[in-house]
Structure 1
Amino acid sequence: MAQQGTINVTTDNIFPIIKQFLYSDQEIFLRELVSNAVDATQKRKTLAQLGEVGEISENPQVDIFLDESAGTMTIRDAGIGMTAEEIDKYINQIAFSGATDFLEKYKDAEAKQAIIGHFGLGFYSAFMVADRVDIETLSQREGAKAVKWSCDGSPNFTIEDIEKDKAGTDIVLHISDDAKEYLAQERVREILNTYCKFMPVEIVQGTKSEYVDDPEGATDEDGKVKKVSVEVPFVVNNTEPAWTKKPAKLKDEDYKDFYRDLYPMNFEDPLFHIHLNVDFPFNLTGILYFPKLKKQIDLQKNRIHLYSNQVFITDNVENIVPDFLTLLHGVIDSPDIPLNVSRSYLQEDANVKKISGHISKKVSDKLAKMFKKDRESFEAQWDDLRVFVEYGMLTDEKFAER
């Protein structure tokens, strides 16, 4: 028989309030839930490597299933799973205990727009699009029992024992009538491509058609093996993007390929790149590209993508990189940039100041090196570079000094 209970939260019926404040940004629920699934998978992989849990499949993945007729979306992982006690701790108490703080941050429209990426909204973001959410989970702990937790968006929940063969978690969203767009494959893949394109665990959503050699070896009139169409899993992400690799392992063409992946509608290669890789006193990785600007009528800002541990957050990086460098393209990834605070707060954050200064220094060092060691190339590219150099000298005192 299902056990009933009440979520430990001080704000009654918080979920309609969440919907009200974040209606325009509903789609981030998928980023949050997939991020949780990826984290659970990585934790289990780590425990398996340490010998603390049994073996995990060689290539564990996160699956996203859509059932239009049933009106459900399921996010499935083969991660560490949860016991009934852990659900009580992490779902009924901790997750919802942050609700009051969350509402305080979002109490007015201006604050809503100021929170970077709304990161950290967590599991209960599911209630922005679902009338009911079920968690079906089996912990990897020896002797654990599978359980199912259900909540309809009120402070009340049920939890019961179920049958489940493999460790991991299924999050089942019963999509509400006003959010049916999230049952459409094209819409879901669009969101995954935005937020989850470079997550470190394979994410599979449905299948795609591929042509392969006929397994029976049938040939055409020219004697060549015929191609036949087969359905294969559709993997939405690249788990090892270029910025996560050591520069010594990459060739110039690898950097250009990654640039084309980031900006498929940019048909000109960048002038050059800077690979960022810092682990002290802050963590920062990324690749910045100098685009060709002389032929562009409108200089486009906001082409740098901000990630946190390979999860996309925003492409509005003002106050994170120096203003003159917002003309650059590329990726910066740092877990040390506070993501659930206002943008104005970033101007005073010590880590953000250090990161901004480091990026400015790396750019000035690169330009100085080019000027001294490859003067011919520097002068040939000056029409494009002058925009950065002159803008930087006018707006960044330290850059001008360098």
Structure 2
Amino acid sequence: MSKNDRTFAAPKGVPDYLPPDSATFVAVRDGLTAAARAAGYGHVELPVFEDTSLFARGVGESTDVVSKEMYTFADKGDRSVTLRPEGTAGVMRAVIEHGLDRGALPVKVAYSGPFFRYERPQAGRYRQLQQVGVEAIGVDDPALDAEVIAIADAGFRSLGLTGFRLEVTSLGDDTCRPQYRELLQQFLFDLPLDEETRRRAEINPLRVLDDKRPHVREMTADAPLMVDHLSDSARTHFDTVLAHLDAMGVPYTRNPRMVRGLDYYTKTTFEFVHDGLGAQSGIGGGGRYDGLMAQLGGQPLSGIGFGLGVDRTVLALAAEGVAPADTARCQVYGVPLGDEAKVRLAVLAHRFRAAGVSVDLAYGDRGMKSAMKGADRSGARVALVLGDRDIEADEVGVKNLATGEQEAVPTADVVARVTALLGRDA
């Protein structure tokens, strides 16, 4: 409840999306998922909460996500469960549990929905965040890495977003990561790190390079970088990914200091950045996670995926002044003048909706002037006006709300006439 204990308010850090602005949210979510569907990714619906150990083991206990940000609680059976902070671990659990990894590979799935992290709320950083994600599991092919990146790029561009950049790097593999880990730890242990940061360097030294504190970033400015210590196989994999991106015309920049916030990433790692968002500039990202399935009890199969922020993409579109969606809640608005007219327009509305046309009606026995104001506010392109004289003539007044022109159309022909009018306008 709010401070005066009289009304309820949404939890802190949880945004509401309401009409007409929610049309942009829906357009972003659907546009990003459409790009995945076009590449053959099937839909998967995941639980909103899972066993806590799934995320502790899969995401990594050294990450801020696990150590500081998870919503974890005991259920009535005294089992520790956690609201999902990300999607990959849950997808991997589902693939293993239902045996999809033993069928045709790669397993290609897409999902969308809310995820939860306890963070300090600010613009673009929410405690309930909305994401669209894809995962391609079971094939270690750099061409697949490039496909996943290209899907995200295409999704953003389909919405009209242009002011973003793609940053890519490689985090190596098990043939070079151990040696680099030892080299990086040697560098870090010579620095005057605080106790918590030193403990993080012992568990996963890459996490220190992701520290946003200015004094830590200054100390680690000369730290050895993974891209300078790749094995031949990891180097070849990364170069092949970039060659595929070049061939597809997907622009990118190399960012050798990139460290994603989750421990499971290996090899190809990427992030989409929009500078119009200030500090929370990341609008999506992902990478390859070759050891995750085995770590969660499945086969030693590789995978790659991404998570794209719907909330932040909405903000990025606003920063660019781009409207990706028609915010009109309907295409046709019915204006009944009398009880009999209301019944007849309700029947017509049912016929229009069956034909795929969205229709709303003026309810509440409003007069002509008030009802036409409702039509204007609805964003409809056509108004259907029906009174006693129209009923006697078996006609409906069809008004083009853009031009103001109105014509009388026989009732039997009104669906076809309006559908044609909407198609012509479109």
| Bigger Rg, structure 1 or 2 | 2
Same fold (TM over 0.5): no
User: TM-score w.r.t. structure 1 length?
Assistant: 0.23
User: TM-score w.r.t. structure 2 length?
Assistant: 0.22
